[in-house]
Amino acid sequence: MCYFTSKPYESALKEFFISVAYNIEEWQLGAYFPANIESGFSHKLMAVTTAEKPHTVGTAIWGLVPHWARTSDEAKQIADMTLNAVGEEIFNKPSYKNYVGSNRCLVWVDGFYEWQHLEYKVPGKGSRMRTEKEKRTHFIYMPGQQPFALGGVYSLWERPDNGHIYHTVSIITTAANTLMAEIHNSKQRMPFVVQRDDWEHWLSPLQREEIQAMIRPLPDGILQAHPVMKVNPRDLELYNNPQVKEPYAYPDRGLF
DNA sequence: CCAGACGTTGTT
DNA sequence: GTCTGG
DNA sequence: CCAGACGTTGTT
DNA sequence: GTCTGG
């Protein structure tokens, strides 16, 4: 899964944030920049809101680093694996269990990407048919591309050699709903979307059972999606370029 | 006990 | 074909 | 994810 | 830090 964040949060967040005490320029986010350009593995900054500062948007490094990471190298290695947290297992995993009770957050995005794996038959040698494979990138978003919140869990990691505190975050995943199962068909998962009416609830103190019950697929009929162009991760022309979320028509190949 | 992992998706 | 780096 | 590399000796 | 596997 691949997320990006961008500037339109400001307007959408007004409803929720009584006093918005953030400087959007400080986010250093790659607006209009699918995460796979910088790659999730570069541990980009995400826009997050926590219960501690419920009326602000801060940043956290994508890839949760638990407190027991001893070195920067170890932290990076762990963060490579903690971009997402499987919601069903989050209370069992050493990396998350200490945080999901107290350190839940909202991760602001205006959409995310998934890749659809397609196969179709084309004429091969002689009378044989051969299977071709294609991957199509899809952009998934709310109506009007309104910003929305994904459920996350965060940790503060103190780097031992210099004492710096790093805010790090994982995005929680859950089973795919119908739309997402069609798109993200190789692994039927989707990010846990926190609906607007649940934003405050998700950040409030909750019992384990309540938390677990909240982490479920978004009902069908809310998210929208369309195919978008493939992105060369090194194509800097696409940095901050809205093209990466505009509809793109893949050639019709008579799929079956 | 001690050493080593600690994670997810098909890259996010 | 498969791995790596961005 | 996608693009690009993918190898060795120390010169032939 | 805490759990698991040997």
Question: Could you give the ipTM of this predicted complex?
Answer: 0.73
Inform me whether the pLDDT recorded for A255 exceeds 70.
Answer: no
| pLDDT tens, residue by residue, A17-52 | 422 223 333 333 434 445 455 555 566 778 888 998
The pLDDT of residue A184 is 81
Helix (H) or strand (E) holding A131: strand A129-141
Average pLDDT estimate for A92-110: 91
> Which residue type, as a one-letter code, is found at position A160?
P
Calculate the average pLDDT of chain A.
Answer: 79
Please tell me whether any atom of strand C lies within 7 Å of the Cβ of A137: no
Please tell me whether any atom of strand C lies within 7 Å of the Cβ of A234: yes
Q: Chain-centre distance of CA A102, in angstroms? A: 20
Find, among A180, A174, A105, the residue nearest to A141 by Cα: A180
- pLDDT class of A174 with cuts at 50, 70, 90: very high
The pLDDT of residue A4 is 52
- pLDDT class of A246 with cuts at 50, 70, 90: confident
- Out of A134-148, A198-212, A237-251, least confident range: A237-251
- Give A115's strand partners: A137
Q: Chain-centre distance of CA A116, in angstroms? A: 17
> Which residue type, as a one-letter code, is found at position A142?
M
The pLDDT of residue A34 is 53
Spatial distance between the Cα atoms of A48 and A107, rounded to a whole number of angstroms: 5
Find, among A141, A152, A139, A142, the residue nearest to A62 by Cα: A152
Whole-prediction pTM: 0.85
> Which residue type, as a one-letter code, is found at position A29?
L
Inform me whether the pLDDT recorded for A130 exceeds 70.
Answer: yes
Contacts of residue A59, defined as CB under 8 A and 6 or more positions apart, other chains included, come to A26, A27, A28, A29, A45, A46, A47, A48, A167
Token pair 């384990």 in the structure block, residue: A208
Spatial distance between the Cα atoms of A91 and A8, rounded to a whole number of angstroms: 33
Spatial distance between the Cα atoms of A147 and A86, rounded to a whole number of angstroms: 23
The pLDDT of residue A12 is 45
Nearest nucleotide by C1' from A40 CA?
B12
Burial class of A175 by CB neighbour count within 10 A (0 to 12, 13 to 18, 19+): middle
Nearest nucleotide by C1' from A38 CA?
C6
Please tell me whether any atom of strand D lies within 7 Å of the Cβ of A186: no
Please tell me whether any atom of strand C lies within 7 Å of the Cβ of A125: no
Nearest nucleotide by C1' from A39 CA?
C6
Q: Chain-centre distance of CA A201, in angstroms? A: 20
Please tell me whether any atom of strand D lies within 7 Å of the Cβ of A36: yes
Query: Which ranges in chain A belong to alpha helices (H)?
Result: 9-13, 35-38, 72-79, 97-100, 178-183, 199-203, 208-214
Strand E CB-contacts below 7 Å = A 67-68, 94
The pLDDT of residue A227 is 92
Give yes or no for a contact between A138 and A154, defined as CB atoms under 8 angstroms apart.
no
The SS3 assignment for A175 reads strand
Inform me whether the pLDDT recorded for A94 exceeds 80.
Answer: yes
Nucleotides of B under 7 A from a protein CB: 5-12
